[in-house]
Chain A
Amino acid sequence: MTALLDASSLVLLAIGALFFAAGTIGLLRFPDVYTRLHALAKVDTLGLGCVLLGLALQADNLAQALKLLLIWPLVLAASATVGYAIARRAQQISMRPWRGDDA
């Protein structure tokens, strides 16, 4: 049972780390603010979700696990709001979305 929990925790943490890495590369490499927000959203939703679930599996008790899992909806709400605010502001100051190198 413990081995199974450890293994699932490890897999979840690895998947989370992968999403974090992909999101960070996206943040660094994508051409404009809108695409970068798109990359960050993956980190906040799937990356953080997997990491928290992986950590919750290793928690000492249920209360600790639930506290870890509580972080997820809070960050989801905050990051969705902030992402929307940044995109809206970018649009307000007429930042044009990237349309490929030839545009």
Chain B
Amino acid sequence: MILAFDALLALGLVWCAWRALSVRDLTHAVVQFVVFGLLLALAWARLAAPDIALAEAAIGAGLTGALLLDSLRASNAGAAPSPSGADIAVPTSNLAGAVRLAVWAAAVVVGAALLLAIATLPPPLIDLRAQVAGALGASGVSHAVTAVLLNFRGYDTLLEVVVLLLALLGLLACRGEHDPVATAADAPAEPLARALSRRATPVLTLTAVYVLWAGTTQPGGAFQAAALLAATAVLLHITRIVPAWERLGFARRLGAAAGVLLFLGIAAALLAEGALLRYPPAYAGSLILLIESGLTVSLALILAALFLCQTETQ
């Protein structure tokens, strides 16, 4: 029974991915992409990885989907409307057919090689799971994923956040070169949606704090909490309660960088421990919560800025 469900899920994933790439109407493709993300979150949940499932649903499907839809609207507003979604020139000549055949053949060969590699994978030499479980007591948290992300391999997370900060910097650097795009802001907001997003804001904020707090003992943490906060900002923005951020002021820039600064500061202060981001066990729990709180604020600001900065209303 559960095997049938998994098979359906896998088939659904492949089908959604194929549809998202093959449909000619771009709006349809984005919707397929969002459905793909939700199915993928379900697949992660089936693989007993609820942390990744949460992140995939919130960031992969939700925020990315909203960004794609918004970009689509902005690019449609700039260009003349094209008849019946014929935005992509689909090659039809014989040469293109041969290229397509070659790509298909290459994909089949690579896929078969990957399947073979998975089937003949040797057992891992180091049992990481046992090592994590053994060291969990000294990590300051009781949820293994948080222990790995913020303690055992804290530098990975530090660099991940730096990548997101760089993405925001890139966006801010590119933005100045373009004229403000026309947005649909002239259309009146849906009154019911406005009322809902007003009432949903405290609930979403509370949920974000809960998810952050829960991260120490169960699935959750800074990334998921930040995604919830950013989604709140997006919701408030598309219902015209919060205007687009014309420019990222000093306070917002500082907030976006604060998480990394706090993380780096704690890492620098703890260098005397002998390794990067090795916490003294007595303070590990508090330090992790402090870092995660800082990261939540910064990540939320970065993710929200990716959406709210790109649409400039005039």
Q: Which of A's residues lie within 8 Å of B, judged by CB?
A: 74, 77-78, 80-81, 84-85, 88
Tell me the bound Cα distance from A80 to B190 in angstroms: 13
Tell me the bound Cα distance from A81 to B237 in angstroms: 16
The contact sample of 18 A-B pairs, CB cut-off 8 A, is A74-B200, A74-B203, A77-B196, A77-B199, A77-B200, A78-B196, A78-B200, A80-B192, A81-B190, A81-B192, A81-B193, A81-B196, A84-B190, A84-B192, A85-B190, A85-B192, A85-B193, A88-B190
Question: Nearest-CB distance from A6 to chain B (Å)?
Answer: 18
Tell me the bound Cα distance from A84 to B192 in angstroms: 8
Question: Nearest-CB distance from B157 to chain A (Å)?
Answer: 27
Tell me the bound Cα distance from A74 to B200 in angstroms: 8
Chain A residue numbers with a CB within 8 Å of B192 are: 80-81, 84-85
Give the size of the chain B interface in residues (CB under 8 angstroms).
Answer: 7
Chain A residue numbers with a CB within 8 Å of B200 are: 74, 77-78
Chain A residue numbers with a CB within 8 Å of B193 are: 81, 85
Question: Nearest-CB distance from B275 to chain A (Å)?
Answer: 38
Chain B residue numbers with a CB within 8 Å of A74 are: 200, 203
Query: Beta-carbon contacts of B181-222 to A below 8 Å, as 1s and 0s?
Result: 000000000101100100110010000000000000000000
Tell me the bound Cα distance from A78 to B192 in angstroms: 10
Tell me the bound Cα distance from A57 to B43 in angstroms: 25
Tell me the bound Cα distance from A80 to B193 in angstroms: 10
Question: Nearest-CB distance from A14 to chain B (Å)?
Answer: 15
Among A74, A78, A80, A81, max chain B CB count under 10 A is at A81
Tell me the bound Cα distance from A21 to B265 in angstroms: 55
The chain A residue with its CB closest to the CB of B203 is A74
Chain B residue numbers with a CB within 8 Å of A80 are: 192
Question: Nearest-CB distance from A70 to chain B (Å)?
Answer: 9
Chain A residue numbers with a CB within 8 Å of B203 are: 74
Tell me the bound Cα distance from A85 to B200 in angstroms: 17
The chain B residue with its CB closest to the CB of A80 is B192
Chain A residue numbers with a CB within 8 Å of B190 are: 81, 84-85, 88
The chain B residue with its CB closest to the CB of A84 is B192
Chain A residue numbers with a CB within 8 Å of B199 are: 77
Tell me the bound Cα distance from A80 to B203 in angstroms: 17
Tell me the bound Cα distance from A88 to B190 in angstroms: 9
Tell me the bound Cα distance from A81 to B197 in angstroms: 10
Question: Nearest-CB distance from B47 to chain A (Å)?
Answer: 21
The chain B residue with its CB closest to the CB of A89 is B190
Tell me the bound Cα distance from A78 to B116 in angstroms: 45
Tell me the bound Cα distance from A7 to B146 in angstroms: 38
The chain B residue with its CB closest to the CB of A78 is B196
Tell me the bound Cα distance from A86 to B99 in angstroms: 42
Known A77-B196, A81-B196, A85-B190; further 5 A-B contacts with Cβ < 8 A: A74-B203, A77-B199, A80-B192, A81-B190, A81-B193
The chain A residue with its CB closest to the CB of B210 is A67
Chain B residue numbers with a CB within 8 Å of A88 are: 190
